[in-house]
Amino acid sequence: MSKLLLDPTSERRVAERTRLARPASLSDQVIGLLDISKPRGNVFLDRLEERLLQAGAQVKRYKKPTFTKPAPVDLRHEIAANCTLVIEALAD
């Protein structure tokens, strides 16, 4: 049986985790492209990179060692320190 907690708030908002606010546009953004290291994903990301650069964003490329585990914490730190947005691809 799952555990229940009582809501300490005014209950005016939904009590679940919400996404971060997004920026108004892509300009001034540094977009991290995180390759999960499954085959063919890099081609997909290459094309995204082309289009994002055309749209005026900066792009940084990252690759995790294996798709079977979450990205190592150092890689996550690096992305968080250097990027304002992130796209992770491509799981199948």
Partner 1 sequence: MSSTRLPDGLVVIVKEECETCRMVAPLLAQFECTVYTQDDPSFPHSVSPIHDADLAVSWHHDIETVPTLIKVMEGVEIERTVGWSQAEWRRITGIATLGHELPVMRPGCGSMSVDPDRVDALRAAFSGDVLKARRIELADLDDEMEKLFDLGFTDGLPVVPPTAERVLRMLQGTTRPPDEVVAIVPPDLVEVTVEKIAINAVMAGCKPEYLPWVIAAVEAICTDEFNIHGVLATTMPVGPVIVCNGPGAKAIGMNAEGNAMGQGNRANLTIGRAVQLVVRNVGGGRPGEVDRATHGNPGKISFCFAELEQGSPFGTLATARGVASGTNAVTVFAGEGPRCIVDQLARDPDSLANTFAACLRTLHNPKSVLGFDVILVVGPEHARVFAEAGWDRERLIAELHARLQIHGSELVRGAGGIAEGVPDWLADATLGKFRPDGILVVHAGGGAGLFSAMIGGWANGDIGSKPVTKEVRP
Partner 2 sequence: MHDIVDLESRGVPGVFVASAEFVTAAIAQSTSLGFPSVSRVFTPHPIQDRTDDEMRAYADAAYDEIISQIVAA
Smallest distance from partner 1 to CB 51, Å: 32
Touching partner 1, residues 12-51 (CB under 8 A)? 12, 15-17
Q: Would you state the structure tokens that stand for residue 77, as one six-digit string?
A: 């730190």
**Which of 1, 4, 8, 39 is the binder for partner 2 (CB under 8 A)?**
39
CA separation for the pair 79, 17 (Å, rounded): 22
* 87 contact choice in partner 2, partner 1, none (CB below 5 to 8 Å, kind-dependent): partner 2
Q: What residues contact residue 29 under an 8 Å CB cut-off, 6+ apart?
A: 23, 57, 58, 84, 85
**Which of 58, 60, 63, 89 is the binder for partner 2 (CB under 8 A)?**
89
